[in-house]
Structure 1
Amino acid sequence: MPAGASTGLPLETDRLLLRPWRVSEAAIQRELWTERDPRVPARRRIDADGRPTVADFEEAISAAAVPSSTGLLAVELKADAAVVGYCGLVEGGPETEGEPELAYELLRRFWGLGYATEASWAVIDWARSSGHRRLWATVWAWNVESLRVLAKLGFAEVRSEQHPVHGTNRVTMKRL
């Protein structure tokens, strides 16, 4: 994003506010990690020593720059200001040709209420207004709920990649 350009944040939908994380919300980030499926790669789960800790998340939030056209935003319910998870764009790797990847994760008690889809539409609009031409999303084949969200958003599978431990990873893409 050009210097001095607006980030367009916060993002707003009928029910949600998407905004940068606050240090006081580090425990929510850690809770997301504790709820992760055991099939998620170990580097993305709480380890045997209990890391990352709430203090680790506090430090990461403090060090994070304000998102410009990438970044994971807290998803807050407008009705009661509860933070229910995150949604945003992360820098893509080789599997996404270096273009941004849509990422979202909600606390389990908020699954099935349409928040991931609603938040993702706001992020897709943010990406489009930031000049991105395509978005990618990678998801494990066993994560049926996320695959359903991506289908609603118009992502189409481009290819799949086999991982010896975690199974099939679906690589999807959406033109903006």
Structure 2
Amino acid sequence: MSRHFALDSLETDRLVLRRRNEREAGIYRRLWTERDPRVPAHRRIDTEGRPTLEDIRAEIHRERQLTRPGLLAVERKIDGDVIGYCGLVFHGNGAPDEPELAYELLRSTHGYGYATEAGGAVLDWAAEAGYERVWATVRDWNAASRRVLDKLGFGETGQVEADAVHGDSLLTVRKLGDAHRVGRIRPR
């Protein structure tokens, strides 16, 4: 199946989701500093201060060269501030051409429904682009993200990557289709 990958931005009632840019590296690094201590070390700032702002800028630059959809900045319309990211990543939890939903928002913005709103827009876009399924992984202890995934219609598959140190990682899946739209998006 041929898919159209050009995705510059999506819009919801309260958010604009658009391609990330290197000027926002500080926001994405802040996300690294806010992560729960149970998150595996490779997803936290290391003892040498990595990833640095330059590391994050370089990653965003590489990401912008890809033809597949990726992570989008989540920007609040009213305040015009970037509060995190949401998008699709490809790394093989499902079939090779099935994306994984990824999202992370600044702690100060938790509890307002932004993750669900952004995730719904990305899932609607993924359905329109022809994807049949989207995966998501979540740590068993991450109740907030588990609630977001539940609201977005993801179901646990029963596949668990056991991790006694960081908490088990649960694999969830969401089948996409025209019958159930998740959010209200307006491509910009």
- Do they fold alike, i.e. is TM over 0.5? yes
Q: Quote how far apart the aligned CAs of 1:48 are.
A: 0.3
Q: Percent identity?
A: 55
Contact 1:139-1:170 within 8 A present in 2 as well: yes
TM-score relative to the length of structure 1: 0.92
Counterpart residue number, 2:94: 96
- d(CA) in 2 for partners of 1:28, 1:106: 10
Q: Quote how far apart the aligned CAs of 1:6 are.
A: 6.1
Contact 2:63-2:70 within 8 A present in 1 as well: no
Contact 1:70-1:100 within 8 A present in 2 as well: no
Structure with greater contact order relative to length (CA < 8 Å, sep ≥ 6): 2
Sort the Cα spacing of 1:112 and 1:126 in 2 relative to 1 into closer, same or farther, 3 A.
same
Q: Quote how far apart the aligned CAs of 1:63 are.
A: 2.6
Q: Quote how far apart the aligned CAs of 1:64 are.
A: 2.2
Q: Which runs of 4+ in 1 moved over 6 A?
A: none
Q: Quote how far apart the aligned CAs of 1:133 are.
A: 0.2
Q: How many residues align?
A: 174
- d(CA) in 2 for partners of 1:68, 1:124: 18
Root-mean-square deviation (CA, aligned residues, Å) is 1.8
* Structure 1 gap segments, 5+ residues each: none
**Counterpart amino acid of residue 21 in structure 1:** R
Contact 1:69-1:127 within 8 A present in 2 as well: no
TM-score relative to the length of structure 2: 0.86
- d(CA) in 1 for partners of 2:90, 2:63: 14
Task: Give SS of 1:79's match.
Answer: coil
1:103-127 deviation line (CA, Å, top 9, x unaligned): 1000000000000000000000111
